[in-house]
Each structure stands twice: as C-alpha cells, then as structure tokens.
Chain A
C-alpha cells in the first residue's frame, strides 16, 4: 500500500506540491511573509533584503559547506495566521529546514507554536524558526522554545535603549504614550512606564493609551488630546498606516516635541513625513545606516539600492540572519541537522556589517546587539530612504543593549 501510494503520488501529484521539491544542492530558506495585500510592502521589502543578503554575503563568497548556495523561497502568508501555517507546512513538505518570518508578532506566535508542535511530533524532520523582526518580548520569555531564534532586539530592549537616551534630556517633563491595541503595543507601553519611572521618576506620564489597530481613520482627535495634555514628548510603537496617520496628525496639530518611534521609516513613511517630520521623529533600531560605520557597509547599501530602487534596507538584521545561519551550518557541518545548527547558533558572536557585535544569548535565543536612536532628517544623509532626501541619522548608541536583561524563558532542549 505504502509503495503504491508513492508510485501514484509521483505520477499524479499536481505541480504545485511537487515541482519545487527536488533541489538538494541548495540550502533553502522559506521566507514566509505577506507578499500581497495591504501589508505586502514590508514583506516584499524583506524578501528583497533576504535575496540580496544571500547573494552578496553567502553565495558570492562560495556558499556553505564548500559550495552549497543559499536559496530564498518566498511564501506569501497574506498576513494571515492560517495561511502562514499552511505555507509553513508546504515549506516543510518541500524539505525546507529554515523558516524566516518577521511581520507581526501575532503570526510569529502562531509559527513558533506550530514549529514547536511539528518538531515534537516529527523528530526526524525538524525545522528552525528564524524570527528576524517580531519583537513581542513574550517570544523569548514565557513562549520561548529551542527552535526559535530572534535576531531583532525585542520591544523591551529597544525601550530600555530609548529611555536611556530620553533620560539624558533634562527638558523632558511630560511624556505621552500611545500605541496599537495588541500585544506589541501593550508591551511597548508597559516597558515605557517601567523604564521611565525607574530612570526618570520626575517625568510625568500624562497619557497612556491604546487605539484599535488599523481601524482609526483620522488621528486628529488623538493629536488634540496629546497637545491638550501638555506633553513635550511622545512614544509610540505604531507601524504602517497607523504610524503615518498618527505622526502626520500630531505634527499638523502643532506638536513640536520629539516623537519617539519604533518603525517610522521606509515603506513610504519617510517620504510622507518629509520636511514636516524633520528633527521631531526619532527612531530606535539596530543597524542604522547614517552615519555609515564602514566603507563595506556603504558599498552594501548602495549596491542594494542600485538593484532595488523601490526598496530600502529597513530591516538591517536580515544580513545577520543570513551570515549567522551560514556560519552555524558550516560549524555544524550539516545543513539538515537542525539541532546541531541550533546549538551552533546558540552563544554565537558575530561581527555585524552594521558595526558592533551580535551575540545570540543561549538562555532565550535573543540576539544582543547595539541599539541606536536616530532622528528623521535630511542633513548629513549618506543613505537616504524612500527615494527621498530624508533618512534616519543616528544620534545615540547603546552598546550591546539588554545584555543583562532578565528572561523568564525555561527552554526545553532536545
């Protein structure tokens, strides 16, 4: 019966499920992110970054294990949890061992859960989840597992860095917190309250609120409230259209203080803010491109922009994902033994193209790296974004941010 099954399957299976299954000579990474629908911008941007990184940083240098090339296989999850799980299943069926995803912590939760279950149920066909962008702290705390690696600094670490910088500003008296009403928005708000009260007890938090995600048509009422509260700075974790809407409304309503954000750059946001946001939008991130840290970095960014003029390197850590995975595969001496590769990734220290080091903390698989705070401006712009003259210029750097941060992760190891 079993044999018959296979014979028939080989003959009849539709192209979709079998056509891509036969390349054993490459190391394939499944890129599972939205490539269609309203969130596709970030997805296609990330895909371009992955493809470029794989080509430039691995394949052109001879690949891994003495010649195997990296191949990025794109799967469109349509920003849907269900579709993500289906696409992850398809990827696993094609023999792919590495799943990369980043957009939306909600989907990251679904995938890390699914990968964990899959690896438990199928011990001979395990896979790794390379989370390059989902920053909900829970993923490396109570929801952590051995198969999940996070290459971005999580929301807590970023907030820690951000509040370090804010604490130095002695003019700061009143801060307004606003974010999207879901796990990540709440994580940002909680971290902000915690860090600000610890570092600057004199600063008053005049507002702390969450708005429905993706549902607010007009942010003007929120802007009015923020101005009426007398705040002289605000912090938001908003992304996408919610970021643009909020930022524009606040600036238009006459807010002049700094706006501290997580994601107010690229994908049209930088161009939309333009002159209006100059000097007032701040961004906390790893791997800023201005001022350039090295000639190597600038060359890399220029080459990317030449190849993908509609895209930016908005998620710098993708280079770290690719390079560290390549290193780990070489170290493990196998591109299929994911336990060995995971063990190699754990505790790895890597010299990032964006300067500084990246350390994959073994306790919770959280990457520890330099985190920067930058400002939206067009001055001293070596690498502007969005085909505009504006970009993010680094103002402060926190070395190896969050290296000492606590984790509640209790990892089960195979």
Chain B
C-alpha cells in the first residue's frame, strides 16, 4: 500500500514533467500543423543553459533565465528556419525539425562535451520532504510538482482569460478562420513556438538535476513526448494532460511491480516447458513487467491509432 502511494507521487512528477513538454508541442502542432521533432532538444538546451548559468549565479537565476533564452532561440528558429521551410510543405517541415534535433545534439556535444554535467538541485531543497515506509520523497520533487502545476494553471489562465489566449484557442480548432480574421498569424506562430519551446526549456531546467544532464537526454525523452500527444489527441491541451499523467503512472507502476509473465501464461492454461533453454518462447516465459514497461506507451499508441485515430481527446484527424 505504501508503495502504491509513493508510486502515485512519483508517477505524478513524471507525468507533470511530460506535460510541460507535451503541452508546448501540442500547442505548436495545433497552430502550425508542425510535429516538432526538435522539441525535446529544446528541453535539453534548457537543462544545459541552466547548468551553465547556475554554475555562475546559482540555481534560481538559471530557472528564470534559461527558459527565456530557450524561448528566444525557439522563436528565432521559427522565424529564420521553419518559416522558410513552411512553403515547401509539411514533410520538409517535419524533416527540418528532425535535422534540427540532430544538429542541436551535436552542438551540445560540441560545446559541453559528451559527459554528464554535474547539474545539481539547489542546496536549499536537498533534503527529504517526507518518507513513506522508508521511501523518502526529496523536497525537490515536491517543488517540481508545484512548479508544474503552477505552469499549468498559468497556461490555463492565459489560454482562457486573455485575448491572446482566445486567438490561440480559436486557432486550435479553426486555424484558417483565425488567419482570415486578420490576426498577425506569423507573429502568433512565432510567439507560440517561442512559448512552446520555453515551456520545454523550463521542463529541462527542473528535470536536469533529477534525470541527468547529458547529450542523450533529448533522445531518451523525444519520442515519448510524441507518443503522449498522439495518445491525448493532437491539438488537445486536456488530452496532453491526461495522456501525460497516464503515461507517467503507467511507466512508474509497470517499473515497480515485478509481475512475471509466467503467472500470466499459466493463468491462460499454458504449460511451462520442461527444458527452458530449448524452448523458442523461453524469453516470453522469463519476461517481467518492468522489462516491457518502457514500450507500453508505444503499444498503447498503436492501439489508440488503430481504433481511435484522433486520440483520446482529439477532434482533428491526426
């Protein structure tokens, strides 16, 4: 029972972190129709910038400044890269972001090398907030939850209570109409791209100390962010939230319970082979849930796409 509670908390942290990435990605997609493959790379940049800044001025300045730099960088990429490629169609656009992801990874290695960076959570938060059954929850994780929820509320406020938010909201469902209404769509695009990447940057800043700041951090998270927004439904903010939490809990729980496939197979009345080493299915028999945990989201995504191509909450066809 204690393990369940602690897993719920851990899954929440993972899910919210994922949401910070997927919310930006889904905003960008709804506005511009671009699946931004480089999104996780901006997350990585956030972590590295924050590391660099924090090594001079401490963690908190990094938290403030790094996302801004990332956001400005993102806006510039939109202005001078993506907008140019946009005229060639969607596939080149997608491929552009794909190439950008590669380039950013290489640039990060160019400047910071290939080692993991010693990016640490702030001293003031390096204590255990509370413990459940011997398992302690670091204060930093509690802080992560607060930050993510705060950002979510802020985003919600901007989207539903401000004029800019209304325009973006409208563009989620009717991108063409918004353009026809005479809004400066290129500027909105640039802004949304900037804000979206800045959100990814924030995620990087606060996740860097926990999940590690290393050149592979974007790749590790990259495709799972896509999976999240596809499951949630492209262009749906609520979908992104639900899917993020779902995946957060799914992977957390899958990793922490050693359910063996042997029990499942036996439940279905299958006989365990006498000599394991000669059975072609030996690997299935010895499989455990944590082993397949990381691929569960992909299985979920394929199932959803086959049976409900619009995702859980999506209105628009992917």
Direct contact of A and B (CB under 8 A): yes
Q: Which residues of A contact B (CB under 8 A)?
A: 38, 40-41, 44, 181, 207, 209-212, 214-218, 220-225, 227-228, 241, 244-245, 248, 252-254, 267-269, 271-272, 274, 310
Q: What is the interface residue range for chain B against chain A? A: 35 or more
Asked if residues B2 and A228 are in contact (CB atoms below 8 Å), the reply is yes
Question: Which one of A210, A227, A254 contacts B291 once the chains associate, using CB atoms below 8 Å?
Answer: A210
> B120: nearest residue on chain A (CB-CB)?
A274
Asked if residues B3 and A224 are in contact (CB atoms below 8 Å), the reply is yes
Q: Answer yes or no: B128 CB below 8 A from chain A CBs.
A: yes
Question: Which one of A212, A225, A254, A268 contacts B3 once the chains associate, using CB atoms below 8 Å?
Answer: A225
Q: Answer yes or no: B100 CB below 8 A from chain A CBs.
A: no
Question: Which one of A44, A220, A241 contacts B214 once the chains associate, using CB atoms below 8 Å?
Answer: A241
Q: Answer yes or no: B182 CB below 8 A from chain A CBs.
A: no
Question: Which one of A44, A224, A244, A269 contacts B10 once the chains associate, using CB atoms below 8 Å?
Answer: A224
Known contacts A40-B114, A216-B294; is A222 also within 8 Å of B256 by CB?
yes
A-B residue pair count with CB separations less than 8 angstroms = 111
Interface contacts beyond A41-B113, A225-B257: sample of 13 additional A-B pairs, CB < 8 Å, sorted by A: A38-B216, A209-B290, A218-B210, A220-B14, A222-B256, A224-B3, A228-B3, A254-B128, A254-B135, A268-B115, A268-B116, A271-B118, A272-B116
- Top 3 A-B pairs ranked by shortest CB distance? A268-B115, A221-B255, A254-B136
- Measured CB to CB, the closest approach of chain B to A316, in angstroms, equals 20
Asked if residues A225 and B220 are in contact (CB atoms below 8 Å), the reply is no
7 contacts between A and B (CB under 8 A): A44-B114, A220-B14, A221-B7, A221-B10, A224-B7, A254-B135, A268-B116
Asked if residues B115 and A209 are in contact (CB atoms below 8 Å), the reply is no
Chain B residues closer than 8 Å to A211, beta-carbon distance = 255, 290-291
Known contacts A211-B290, A222-B256, A245-B212; is A217 also within 8 Å of B3 by CB?
no
Chain A residues closer than 8 Å to B258, beta-carbon distance = 207, 209, 225
Q: Answer yes or no: B269 CB below 8 A from chain A CBs.
A: no
Asked if residues A269 and B116 are in contact (CB atoms below 8 Å), the reply is yes
Chain A residues closer than 8 Å to B181, beta-carbon distance = none
Asked if residues B255 and A222 are in contact (CB atoms below 8 Å), the reply is yes
- Measured CB to CB, the closest approach of chain A to B122, in angstroms, equals 14
Asked if residues B134 and A228 are in contact (CB atoms below 8 Å), the reply is yes
- Distance, CA A269 to CA B115, complexed state (A): 9
Asked if residues A41 and B256 are in contact (CB atoms below 8 Å), the reply is no
Asked if residues A221 and B118 are in contact (CB atoms below 8 Å), the reply is no
Chain B residues closer than 8 Å to A227, beta-carbon distance = 134-135
Q: Answer yes or no: B211 CB below 8 A from chain A CBs.
A: yes
Encode B126-140 as 1/0 by CB contact (under 8 A) with A. 001001011110100
Asked if residues A217 and B211 are in contact (CB atoms below 8 Å), the reply is yes
Chain B residues closer than 8 Å to A225, beta-carbon distance = 3, 255-258
Question: Which one of A222, A224, A274 contacts B118 once the chains associate, using CB atoms below 8 Å?
Answer: A274
> A230: nearest residue on chain B (CB-CB)?
B134
Asked if residues A224 and B256 are in contact (CB atoms below 8 Å), the reply is yes
- Measured CB to CB, the closest approach of chain A to B278, in angstroms, equals 16
Among B300-317, those with CB < 8 Å from A are none
Asked if residues B290 and A38 are in contact (CB atoms below 8 Å), the reply is no
Asked if residues B3 and A267 are in contact (CB atoms below 8 Å), the reply is no
- Measured CB to CB, the closest approach of chain B to A347, in angstroms, equals 34
> B18: nearest residue on chain A (CB-CB)?
A217
Chain A residues closer than 8 Å to B71, beta-carbon distance = none
Chain B residues closer than 8 Å to A245, beta-carbon distance = 211-212
Asked if residues A217 and B290 are in contact (CB atoms below 8 Å), the reply is no
Among B274-296, those with CB < 8 Å from A are 288, 290-291, 293-295
- Distance, CA A346 to CA B3, complexed state (A): 54
Asked if residues B135 and A215 are in contact (CB atoms below 8 Å), the reply is no
- Measured CB to CB, the closest approach of chain B to A42, in angstroms, equals 9
Asked if residues A222 and B214 are in contact (CB atoms below 8 Å), the reply is no
Asked if residues A41 and B114 are in contact (CB atoms below 8 Å), the reply is yes
